[in-house]
Amino acid sequence: MSHPVSIALDTRALLGEGPRWHAGEQRLYWVDILANELHRFDPATGLDDVRRFEQPVGCFAFRAAGGFVLAMKDGFALLDDWDAAPKPFGEQIFADRPDLRFNDGRTDPAGRFWVGSVNMTKSAHDAALYRLDPDGALAFVEGGMLTCNGAAFNADGTAFRHADTPSHDLRAYEVDPATGTLSKRRIIHSFEHGKGRPDGGSFDAEGCYWSALFDGGRVVRLSPEGDLLQTVELPVKRPTMIAFGGPDLRTAYVTSARAALSDADLATQPHAGALFSFPVDVPGLPEVPFPG
């Protein structure tokens, strides 16, 4: 089945990432990490509002009380509303670690915020996965990575996926939904080297996982067992993250990047950095707010 890909927003993001659909507002929020920006996009009007910060925002989660929790360069911050100033939340664990920043993340069905870090210089395998609990406590979950990406949970919180992107391997875990404990780690899919690496991803309502393949020019849908079910080609080489929105969560939104592409690359990819969309048959999952 073909999936007609549209340009939802022809922005030139350096490193577009982390699209998240706000059901109450019917708007898509996303970040441009390298521009230190949080964006608020209204598909109905085409308007895209921008907030700029003093640090990169790797990802964010909506809060149950309104506003956001931001995973920034040094640590977490709370934003009470769109116009508010960020307030540090918990320990700023990377304040004295210039190579490290927070990167991709997702809330689980209980609202805990799981966030990976990235070693921006690839100087050491010291990136890791963390869990931020509602009281601000930060737990180290798993380390030894370069770029922790693709964090997502299935609908009932019993399955988790993420990737150390340069490894090309997608990792699968079983989860105890009550405690948030991971177990039975395994490689569920290994992507062929040279044809894209797993960046951001999301589950759908059937328990399948969609992954954006950075430098692969496509997004793919994998079965719960890790088998390749669908491929959607994109007109850019560097898709970064896929998430679902629209009134019925049947619109896929894909962010992309243009940073570090050559002039020759950009000549053949004039829409690099754009936000893309296409319809899907199986809806995605609603975003769970972070308590507080």
Catalytic residue, chosen from 32, 104, 108, 199, is: 199
Residue 199 annotated among the catalytic residues of the structure: yes
Residue 189's Cα: distance from chain center in Å?
19
Q: Which residues are catalytic?
A: 199
